[in-house]
């Protein structure tokens, strides 16, 4: 159990917990809590639930898939959409963070902070060296996010040795096709909060976005090498988690 402000985070402990997470996911991704958002990866993952301490109201969920190293990258959710051959040589433990969503009526930044605190504990406890996932923009219209994509192209592309290649049938190749100079203020405003957090930790992204019609999102593969997280950011994450990332 980890608490911050009005919220606490715990792992799912029952089928009812998992269904509650799937119901919130369906509300966040598909606009209705009358059904469940379910996929084949749920049974392989640890599911995190963030609740209001006073009311037990569920406000945020995400899941973690642990991989022993790059040789297991093909088991990840992201491998459905990206050619990840380069990451097969990554030498250390990895974890994929996915299905992150916040209740549409909740806008408290403490929710994201406590989520990162929980992820920090997981990274530390499992000696994780790469945290990755698919960071999503809402909707599939690229015109809303051109400044954000231009900023990603200029500042945050994956190093060539890890760069994901195109696999999905429909993608937006922003690194090759986008010619605009980014308006940095507009880019930040349009950037999803989770992706912003990844980037502040030194994260990098694929050179293209996948157009995911099923989830009604545009997403980029996003990775964070734990050893490359800036020291100040590590200190902040340690303070939130109460334990902390491995040093060195």
- Residues contacting residue 104 through CB under 8 Å, at least 6 positions apart: 27, 28
How much is the pLDDT for 245?
39
pLDDT at 220 (0 to 100): 98
Bridge partners (DSSP) listed for residue 95 = 66, 131
Region 206-227 average pLDDT: 97
- Checking if the pLDDT of 59 tops 60, the result is yes
244 pLDDT band (50/70/90 cuts)?
very low
Q: Are 117 and 75 in contact (CB under 8 A)?
A: no
Q: Per residue in 88-144, pLDDT tens?
A: 999 999 999 999 999 999 999 999 999 999 999 999 999 999 999 999 999 999 999
Domain ranges across the chain: 62-241
For the segment 69-89, what is each residue's pLDDT rounded down to a tens digit? 999 999 999 999 999 999 999
Q: 9 CB contacts (<8 Å, ≥6 apart)?
A: 1, 2, 3, 48, 49, 50, 51, 114, 115, 117, 118
Sign of CA dihedral 189, 101, 199, 41: negative
Q: How far apart are CA 191 and CA 232, in angstroms?
A: 22
Sequence-distant (6+) residues with CB within 8 A of 136 are 192, 212, 215, 217, 218, 219
What is the arithmetic mean of pLDDT over 164-168? Answer: 98
């Amino acid at each position: 159990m980890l608490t911050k402000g009005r919220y606490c985070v715990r792992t799912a402990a029952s089928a009812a917990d998992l269904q509650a997470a799937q119901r919130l996911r369906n509300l966040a991704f598909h606009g209705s809590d009358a059904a469940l958002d379910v996929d084949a990866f749920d049974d392989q993952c640890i599911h995190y639930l963030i609740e209001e301490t006073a009311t037990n109201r569920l406000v945020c969920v995400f899941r973690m898939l642990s991989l022993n190293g790059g040789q297991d990258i093909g088991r990840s959710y992201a491998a459905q959409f990206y050619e990840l051959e380069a990451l097969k040589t990554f030498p250390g433990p990895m974890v994929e963070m996915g299905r992150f969503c916040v209740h549409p009526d909740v806008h408290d930044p403490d929710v994201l902070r406590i989520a990162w605190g929980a992820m920090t504990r997981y990274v530390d406890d499992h000696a994780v060296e790469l945290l990755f996932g698919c960071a999503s923009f809402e909707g599939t219209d690229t015109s809303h996010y051109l400044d954000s994509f231009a900023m990603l192209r200029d500042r945050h592309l994956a190093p060539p040795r890890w760069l994901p290649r195109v696999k999905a049938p429909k993608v937006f190749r922003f690194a090759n096709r986008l010619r605009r100079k980014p308006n940095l203020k507009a880019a930040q405003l349009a950037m999803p909060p989770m992706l912003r957090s990844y980037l502040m930790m030194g994260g990098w992204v694929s050179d293209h976005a996948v157009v995911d019609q099923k989830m009604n999102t545009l997403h980029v593969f996003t990775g964070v090498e734990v050893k490359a997280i800036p020291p100040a950011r590590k200190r902040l994450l340690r303070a939130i988690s109460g334990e902390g990332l491995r040093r060195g």
